[in-house]
Structure 1
Amino acid sequence: MDLLSQIVARAKSNKQRIVLPEATEERTLRAADRVLAEDMADIVLIGNPNEIKQLAAQWGLNSVDKATIIDPENNPKSEEYATLLAELRKKKGMTIEQARELVKNPLYLGCMIIKTEGADGQISGALSTTGDTLRPALQIIKCAPGVSCVSGGLLLISKQKEYGEDGVLVVGDVAVTPMPNANELAQIAVCTAQTARSVAGFTDPRVAMLSFSTKGSAKHEVVDKVVEATKLAHELDPELKLDGELQADAALVPSVAAKKAPGSDIAGKANVLVFPNLEVGNIGYKLVQRLGDAIAIGPILQGIARPVNDLSRGCSVDDIYYMVAITACQAMDAKANK
């Protein structure tokens, strides 16, 4: 069974409630129909019920009627949500009138449903920007305990089976924090390892903190940051298997590791890679994807107390379907660690 099939199987084994706030968007509704037909998750659709039902009929989607549909313009819980939102944001000066308008926004409404335990995760981005997706999540659901920065993890599936876990690597950050400091980089390392466990199913994450230096082979302040982040990550999670600073070849290739980092328990065996900044991460994974013909799945948002994931506006129905499964796996993990 390939990795994506394993993720779907885990989602089906413990159904979670996933909000799709862009419910009248065609790819989103088609993905919801597939999820519901396969009984992979319980789906909450946000939008006008009549419009959703008409579109489902037009596109021949027979399972959409299994979803819970919430109309943001006629929601019996609107005042309850507005009161809570105003309370959450009162230090920022939000009035009840502003909150009443915001809870009609599907992205805010979805996060309020999660906040009040009506759902376990949310996915948007087929129509919305990353900023629009993240803003309500950070204002309402907030970061997980001990985390102050959100990051983007990614599953890289390579045909080179000798690397990672049978060709699977989990990497981060590739999407959110442009220039993390040492403390933020340490958090990204811990969160990416958690994604490796909850989504990729790794029982033994082995984290390499990447740099252009291996164990002091070069001197520079950006190397110092990775060294400090490695120390801080050990303090955040003393049980986590992690080492740095390591060059990418030393992290992945046993023969190189033996020369550059002898005695390291991680070098040559890493299955989780943490990039020193977003520029390196984003460029690096796209080069591997295009030149190395690897499959890239994500970004998977990390560090939010309950999973809220972002899609590319060019996403496919399959992308949304699999992101539902990934979000469900994250939700199970969030509950287990609550």
Structure 2
Amino acid sequence: MKIARRGLPKGWIGTWLFALAAVTSAAQAAVLPGALVTPPWLHDHAKQVQIVDIRDSLGSLTNDPKYATVNGHKVLEEVGGHIPDALSVNFWGLRQKHVIDGKKIDFMLPTAKEFEQTMQAVQLEPGKPIVIVPTGDDATSLQEAAFFAWELQVFGVPQEQIAILNGGMHAWTSAGYDVDTDAIAPMSSSKWKARAPNPALLATTAEVQAAQRAHGLLLDARPLAQIAGLERTPVVPAAGRLAGASPLPAELFYRNADDGSWRFISAHVYRKVLAGGGVQRVAPGIVYCNTGQYAAGAWFVIDRIMGRKGLREYPGGMNEWEQRGLPVVSF
């Protein structure tokens, strides 16, 4: 039996479903209040988002939090456990080894397929807002969360669907919310799909070289001692910086809160801090570090918190640059 559709335009069902999907997607994106969320907000909206824990030591997911007594008060010293029902991402799984000029180079940006497989393995759902939860025990954990946020955007997740819990698990635990120490063990994979990398967020080696020749904005987001060539990490063969780069020191981006958690600060404070640190221009341009996470922290502050668009990250950083045999300079 055929059902009459008198008076309805041809293709109305497809049009209606498309419109419904658009409204649903917009409603989901509107769940997040911005680039950062607080523990009370996440506690009240936990069922509306995907809570994704990220850390570089997965063993601590099943540990109890560690406390110390300071002036007669119990103070959180080290994060343990995770937020109930959280997914888990291993930070070290966000970079891969790639062969460049016949040489294997570690800590490189994954391909879309590699990233897709990682996200499917942790059961990330397509289209649902994501709140990334670092440990918050140190500034490095915030950079790791920012790197994950950047990769999600690179591979197609809209920025409106991504936020970071400011202060991470440290702030969550200090606020007295529930902590789960059961193992996070996904039993299946999701259907999450990655898109081709977004060139508006990425800079290649050739583009960095072009920026050097054109005297474009090139920002070094490492700690000041590394920018100055006084220190280096074991990953990077030689100390120094890229010719033409301006300092954007990592020390300017994070603060230690009263509860002991490390946090991002507000956009208007960042404007004052950067001006006070002698940083005049932040975008458009290219930001780099050693292997990507310092640069991602700077990108997250400038792009997501301050809303200044046009900053691309050179993810291979000094690691890729020097492995390619390209020159660096020191002060």
| TM interval, short-chain normalised | under 0.3
Greater helix fraction, Structure 1 or Structure 2: 1
* Length-normalised TM-score, structure 1: 0.25
Select the structure of larger CA radius of gyration.
2
